[in-house]
Structures are given as structure tokens and as C-alpha cells.
Amino acid sequence: MNGAQHMLELRVLGDFQVMRDGQPLDLPPSRKTRALLAYLAVTGRRHQRERLCEIFWDIPDDPRGALRWSLSKIRQVLGDDESALATDRNAVALNLETDHARLAPLVKADLSSRSTEELEAALASIRGCFLADLSLERCFDYEAWRQAIASEVEIVELGILRELVERLADQPRRALPFAQRLRSLVPDDARLAAETEALEDKVRSAAAQATGRAPQPTSPTPPRPVTSSQDPRRAVQFCRALDGTRLAHASTGNGPAILRAAHWMSHLTFDWDSPIWRHWMRELSRQNRLVRYDERCNGLSQRHVVDISFETMLSDLECVVEATGLERFTLLGLSQSCAVSIAYAIRHPEKVSGMILYGGYVKGWRARGDAGEIATREAAATLMRESWGKPNPMFRQAFCSMFIPGATHEHFAWMDDLMLRTVSPDDAWRLQSSFSVIDVGDLLEKVSVPTLVLHARDDNVAPVESGRTMAAGIPGARFIELDSQNHILLEGEPAFEEFIDHVRAFIAETAGR
């Protein structure tokens, strides 16, 4: 480097820019070359040339030649800073400052402990979605990486805005821009709309007092037209758990309410695009109001939270029920959330008209005490922590095969993306460890609400026997065995259609009780 006055900075929080002395530089017209430059700078580590070729180029394209050509163009961009690019026959690394590097520490931070000035500076650096102009649809591994970072940036932005609006509530003029920005991101949050209007009234009154004029009454805010950017399916709201953790929740459809207890690997907005989950939401919303929320450490809820205990997950469910105003509903548990659902139904039977449990288990894999299973699961957990977020998708594909053996290549690709976008490697490992000790065996006989238990016959994640055990222990529960090998039932398979038919019949029978 030739000193700070010549130092380059890459801006990736929005459209991609390379700046020198505050001025943007001309970039190569090749989209892949610009994406490669951004990828190397943001990751900030050494990459094998062979792996970069796999990420950005197809075999027929002479990937090694394409990589050499792109690196030559990157050197031209770097100019006097060419030494920042380290290359040899096998690997490539780039050491440059990015605006994302300054934001990244806040992803895992307790925002309440950070200064207002630091949070304001972080917000100022976010000009838009991460690498908004550099999507590469045919480069799946790159695109999965880009979208995973984009989700983290989105969550941090929402978290900072929430923190500042609450922190600066007694300074309306300072808080108002943050509330307005937050409202533009979550336009259907009624509580936020009221908070913003209250701040606007305070600012208007203060201005009127300063000028000696009477404040003008606030006109009712006209209803916002629903546009593609305000798709009701993507309307996300937030509430606070008892420990202050931000929980994201959403509601779609009309009719008797279904509350889906949170499970891991969910993302309230992305799930509508994904063939892994979109058919679930579509069908469950068709005749009912479906309320969902992202589990802590997942999706749009707060990530990297310390407390992920069973009791806290149960408390989060209670907070979502209160925030959404649900009086009586069908409680739907999937996988590990079946256990949380059981505990909730015992504690609040007056709220639950009926409970549907799919793919669940009474005891987690460690609590079951099978030495062979424990050894296998612990090995998988180690791989999860080390390989979940790595560019090589081999582990994630094996993981997908366990959850959805009937997956197509499209499902594999989307599942891989889902894993990267919804939960970090460390949180995935921590959550799996927490799920392993679940044991609601002593609670089953205390369930007093009508219960329907369904399970895929050849489920590799939770053996069908665990579903039978659950149904046998709950008084009056009905058990349905579905002809499938998928832990997550896929669109078009007869088992999913049968699942929906049973759910609708059960709700019709119990919702009016």
C-alpha cells in the first residue's frame, strides 16, 4: 500500500463499488470478474484456484483460463495496490478493506451494549442489499454465499433500527428517521406504524412550539396499496422475548387459526420462494390463518443468542401468542417443536383447540441413550460445526439426503441454500446439541387437548416408532402413518396431500370446541 490517501475500499453493502480517495473506480464489465473481486475481499482468506473455478465457471468454459483472465483484470483495478492480491500456482488471496468487515462484528453482538454513535455509523454504511447488483443465478455456491450474507445484513439492519428507535424514544427528532426507515422495511407492522406516527406528532409539536404556531392535527395515515414489494406473505413483524431477544413472526390467510411452533432452519420470507416449504405455507393458509415465527438463532429472528434452552423456546412461543393476539388456535408442531408444543398445550389448554404433531420425538438422540446413535450423531455434529458454512457443499448435501431422501437436484440446491441462509454453523451445532437432550416422556399423560400425531413411515431423522410412542402416551391421541421417507414432505408426493387432508379434517372437527 502507498499510504492511507491511496488505500482502496470495497463497498459491498449495496451495489458493488471500489473506491480510491472517496472516488469510484471503473470496474471490468465482466459480472463474474466483479463478483470474484467481491468474494475474495469479503471472505478475506486464501482460496484454492480449483475451488474458485468450481464456484464461478463451468467446465466447458476453460475455468482456469477464465480465472487467470479475471485475475489480470482485478490487478488492473488494484493498480498501486496490486500487492494486496497474493497468488501462486495453487491459491489466491486478497487483503482489502470492505464496509462489510466493519459491520460483521455486530452480527453476533449484543446491540444494547454498543454505543449509539457506533450503531448510527453502521447504519450509514448500509446502502442496500449485500452485493445487490452482483447476483449470479447459474453460480449456485456463490449465490448461496451471497444470499446468506445478505440475510445477516438484513437482520443486523433491522436489529440496529429497532434498538435505536427504542433507545432514542425520548429524542423524537433523532429517533424519527430510524423509525421511518424501519417502517419502510416492515410496512405492515401496525405497532411500529403507531410508534412512528407518535414520533411524527412529537416532532411536529416541538417545531410548532419553536415557531409559536399551533400544531396541525395529524391526518390518518392512508392504507398502503399492496405492491409486489409489500406482498402480504412477506409482511414480517417483531416482538420481544422475555430476555429481550427479537422474534420475527408473520401471518397469512384467513379462517380458524393455526400456530406453527417454530422449528430450526426456517426463514419467514425466503420460505415462500423455496420448494422445501412453500407448499406447506400455501396449503395451510388456504382455509386458515397461519401464524409462523422464526426460532431464535434462525431466519429473521435474532441470531447468536446465548439461551436456547427448552424452557426459553416454550417462553418464546408464549410471547408470540401474546404478540399476535391469538385467543384460541390449532397448535402445529413439526420435528423438535412437537415437544415444545406438548409443553405449551399442558400449560395453556384453554388456548389450544387441538394439537397436530408431525415428525416429532419424545426424547432427543442423546436422551434416548443408544450408544451407537450418540456416537454417530456426535460425529455428525462435529462435521456440522466445521463444514456447514464452508464453500464445499458435500456435508450439506449429505445432511439434505437424511432429511429429504426423495429430493430432486432442485430440492438439493434449495435445501443447501436454506441451510446457509437460515442459521449459522455455530448456532446449528448449538441447537442440535440442545435438541439432543429433549425429554417430554413425563408430560405426555398430562395432555388434555385433542391431538393428532402423523409420521412418515421411513423417516431417517425421527424414526416412526418415536411418533407411535408419542401418540400412545397422549390420552386419546390418533396416530396416522404416512407412506414417505421424507422428514419434510415434498410437494406432489401423496403423503403430503394425505397430511393436508387429515389436518383439515382435524381442524374442522376441533376448531369450534
On whether residue 444 sits in a domain, the answer given is: yes
199 and 150 together in one domain:
yes
Domain boundary among 44, 79, 98: 98
Cα distance between residue 263 and residue 261, in whole Å:
7
229 in any annotated domain: no
What are the E-state strand segments in 134-256? Answer: 237-240, 246-252
Q: What is the CATH number of the domain that holds 13?
A: 1.10.10.10
Residue with the bigger pLDDT between 401 and 5: it is 401
**CA distance linking residue 159 with residue 107, whole number of Å:** 9
Shared domain check, 48 and 142: no
pLDDT average, residue stretch 317-324 = 96
- Does 483 score more than 50 pLDDT? yes
- The two counts, helices (H) then strands (E), for the chain are 17, 15
**Residue 191 CB coordination number (10 Å):** 11
223 in a structural domain: no
pLDDT at 149 over 70: yes
Crossing angle of helices 140-167/172-185, nearest 10°?
150
Is 217 part of any domain? no
- Same-domain pairing of 74 and 131: no
Q: Among 238-252, 320-334, 389-403, 499-513, which is the least confidently predicted range? A: 389-403
Q: Are residues 301 and 402 in the same domain?
A: yes
36, 143, 264 from 138: Cα distances, Å? 14, 8, 28
Assessment of whether the complete model's pTM goes beyond 0.75 = no
Domain co-membership, 73 together with 115: no
**What percentage of the chain reaches a pLDDT higher than 90?**
51
| More confident site: 505 or 416 | 505
pLDDT value at residue 419 = 83
3-state secondary structure 233-289: HHCCEEEECCCCCEEEEEEECCCCEEEECCCCCCCCCHHHCCCCCHHHHHHHHHCCE
Q: Specify the amino acid at residue 90.
A: N
Residue 74 has pLDDT above 90, yes or no: yes
Among candidate residues 98, 127, 160, the one where a domain is terminated: 98
Rg over alpha carbons for the chain, rounded to the nearest Å, is: 25
Give the per-residue pLDDT at 229: 40
Residues 84, 134: one domain?
Answer: no
Q: What is the mean pLDDT of residues 490-499?
A: 96
* pLDDT over 60 (residue 116): yes
In the predicted model, what is the mean pLDDT of residues 51-68? 84
Within a domain: residue 224?
Answer: no
Q: Is residue 220 part of a domain?
A: no
**Residue 413 forms part of a structural domain:** yes
Rounded to whole angstroms, the Cα distance separating 235 from 231 reads 7
Clarify whether residues 146 and 43 are in a common domain: no
Averaged over 293-305, what is the pLDDT? 89
Q: How far is CA 323 from CA 301, 317, 356, in A?
A: 14, 10, 22
pLDDT over threshold 90, residue 46:
yes
- Could you tell me the three cell numbers for 398? 449429505
**What's the average model confidence in pLDDT over 254-265?**
95
Least confident of 177-186, 296-305, 369-378, 504-513: 369-378
Residue 393, pLDDT score: 67
- Identify whether residues 396 and 318 lie together within a single domain: yes
Structural domain for 137, as ranges: 103-211
Count of structural domains, the chain: 3
Same domain, residue pair 436 and 343: yes
Residues paired with 211 in a beta bridge: none
**pLDDT at position 194:** 84
What average pLDDT is seen over the chain?
87
Asked if residue 195 and residue 287 are part of one domain, the reply reads: no
341 vs 151: which has the higher pLDDT: 341
Query: Is 342 found in the same domain as 319?
Result: yes
pLDDT digits (tens, 9 = 90+) for 195-244: 888 888 888 888 777 665 555 554 444 443 333 344 555 578 889 899 88
Q: Is the pLDDT of residue 448 over 80?
A: yes
211, 242, 270 - which closes a domain: 211
Strand partners, 17: 11
- 286 occurs within a structural domain: yes
At 213, give phi and psi (nearest 5°). -95, 155
Question: Which domain CATH number covers 269?
Answer: 3.40.50.1820
Grid cell digits, residue 505: 379434517
459 grid coordinates: 423417516
Do 112 and 31 fall into the same domain?
Answer: no
- The answer on pLDDT for 82 being more than 70 is yes
pLDDT at 214: 52
